[in-house]
Chains A and B, each alone.
Chain A
Amino acid sequence: AQTVTQSQPEMSVQEAETVTLSCTYDTSENNYYLFWYKQPPSRQMILVIRQEAYKQQNATENRFSVNFQKAAKSFSLKISDSQLGDTAMYFCAPQLPKNKIFGNEKLTFGTGTRLTIIP
């Protein structure tokens, strides 16, 4: 079974601080995508950042960056200069397993981390 573990159910940080959300997963695949999605109170799922497993360079998107350790199957999200609008549930979602018939893959979501930014 494919498993995704987010070990921090809840986190809170002061505005402008940096916070890191952890994620580990299990797979036997070599090439795959990994995503972080956020779900604010509106419940709309929003893509935060995307990483391709074959790329060694960690993805960066403005204040968001990842620390991808392929061998360790770890994919943490760092949020710098946190803002009040970052308050949301954050889900780690590796695209596992591969659906070799249709050539597409489904996302397996972690349990989520509820992040609160304190003014």
Chain B
Amino acid sequence: GAVVSQHPSRVICKSGTSVKIECRSLDFQATTMFWYRQFPKQSLMLMATSNEGSKATYEQGVEKDKFLINHASLTLSTLTVTSAHPEDSSFYICSASKREGDTGELFFGEGSRLTVL
């Protein structure tokens, strides 16, 4: 299988604090990990692409200093929402592509719901 685990699944924080979300590929090495944001009843919007050992590539309009992405190993990427504000409240989803035997398919985490009070 190809399992991607995200943690935490739900987080509530106070405005001004930072929140870290982890994305792990449990049984494969991930060449690349992607971070998406999804507002209620809307589609997934790509925030950034991260490759192990490289700086993340952010989509236009996404603040890189606001959403810090670290991809330190082939099985772990983290998204840190710094100085969170209520407008950052959303559903964040990570996905990963396999290092070998690439079929083009992405494997998704369960998502993390962030609520900023």
Name A residues whose Cβ lies closer than 8 Å to a Cβ of B.
33, 35, 37, 42-47, 50, 52, 91, 95, 99, 102, 104-112, 114
Whole-angstrom CA separation of A47 from B111 in the bound complex: 15
Q: What B residues does A37 contact at CB under 8 A? A: 108
Q: What B residues does A91 contact at CB under 8 A? A: 43-44
| B32, B43, B108: the one within 8 Å of A111 (CB) | B43
A40 CB, min distance to chain B CBs, angstroms: 12
Interface residues of B: mostly helix, strand, loop or mixed? Answer: strand
Q: What A residues does B34 contact at CB under 8 A? A: 106-107
Q: What A residues does B51 contact at CB under 8 A? A: 102
Name B residues whose Cβ lies closer than 8 Å to a Cβ of A.
31-32, 34, 41-46, 49, 51, 91, 93, 95, 97, 102-106, 108, 110-111
| A44, A105, A110, A114: the one within 8 Å of B110 (CB) | A44
Q: Given known contacts A43-B111, A110-B43, A111-B43, is B32 in contact with A102 (CB within 8 Å)?
A: yes
Q: Is the CB of A99 within 8 A of B110?
A: no
Q: Is the CB of A50 within 8 A of B111?
A: no
